[in-house]
Amino acid sequence: MMTRSESVAALAKAKCAAQAKFLPLGKDKSATVALSKGGSYSYSYADLAACLESVIPALSEAGIALFQPVRIEDGSAIATTLLVHGDSGEWIASDYAAVAVDARDARSVGSASTYARRYGLLAMLAIASADEDDDAEEARGGAHEMPQARDAAKTICPACGKDAIIKSKAEWGGGWVCYKKKGGCGVKWPEGPFPVAAPTAEPNTMTPEQLFETPGEEAERKGQEAATLLSAIQGRWGVLKTPAALRIKMWER
């Protein structure tokens, strides 16, 4: 889900000019992945540096600033890709989350952060990635841990979040089903690769200023918001200030 300024007309015009000058995105990296059930495969991909080199010159020429702050929540690295048009102040932002193999390991978290930034950037700028896989394989434990996590993810239903996906029998139409007897929701998918949903984060409702505020500024803002809310509650509901007789009057119908 994206958040944006009230108008993005000037930003959209500038982005149109920029994307016409994006450089071709080649696959400059390669990796070999060991599968959890034996065997391996290799793939090529464009890393984050290549993605940035492809777009930064054109974005800068069009007066568009790119920001990608990353935060860690519940074992996931969440990258916010923010585009700001310098002349108009218009902006648009979107979150992309990637689960770290081991949230206690700095290398794993760093790899997940890079993954989230790369795919968040490609999605925001509508760039197709030609790679068959991603650099999240570089997490600690790498080649043998990530396929296991991916295999496990294939049993998680993207509709209800339950670990209940099974292969449907041919007499039932084939494909995949979120099996109700395993606590699933019953949703079905046609034959073919199972559509694993990408990790999602809570919608970003922060303004650009809030994204980059210091801890002290954040605490002050939240304190002011709490005071405003308390004042509104006291004004509408008539909260008595005497501790021994604290009560709330019934809302006047």
**Cα distance between residue 173 and residue 17, in whole Å:** 48
Q: What is the mean pLDDT of residues 119-125?
A: 93
What strands lie across the sheet with 165-167, from one edge to the other? 165-167, 176-178, 188-189
Residue found by looking up tokens 């029998």 in the block: 169
In this structure, what are the phi and psi dihedrals at residue 20, rounded to the nearest 5 degrees? -70, -15
Dihedrals phi, psi of 199, to nearest 5 degrees = -55, 140
Q: Say how many residues make up the chain.
A: 253
Lowest mean pLDDT among 80-84, 173-177, 181-185, 243-247: 243-247
Residues 6+ apart with CB under 8 A from 38: none
Q: What is the rounded distance in angstroms from the CA atom of residue 222 to the CA atom of residue 204?
A: 16
pLDDT at 164: 73
Rounded average pLDDT over 190-218: 53
Residue 243, pLDDT score: 46
- pLDDT top residue among 73 and 86: 86
What's the mean pLDDT in 50-78?
Answer: 93
Domain-wise residue ranges, the chain: 1-154, 214-246
* Ramachandran category for residue 53: left, alpha or beta (phi over 0 → left; psi -120 to 50 → alpha): alpha
The vertex-142 CA angle with 138 and 147, nearest 5°, equals: 115
Given a cut of 80, whether residue 239 has pLDDT beyond it is no
Contacts of 120 (CB under 8 A, 6+ apart): 68, 79, 80, 81, 94, 95, 96
Greatest mean pLDDT among 13-17, 133-137, 218-222, 249-253: 13-17
pTM above 0.85, yes or no: no
Amino acid, single-letter form, for residue 104: R
pLDDT bracket for residue 132 (50, 70, 90): very low
Smallest CA-to-CA distance from 117 within 157, 66, 81 is with 81
The token duo for 104 is 């206690």
Rounded distance between C-alpha atoms, residue 138 and residue 110, angstroms: 9
CA distance 42 to 57: 31
User: What φ, ψ does residue 135 adopt, rounded to 5°?
Assistant: -80, 5
Whether 61 has a pLDDT exceeding 90, the answer reads yes
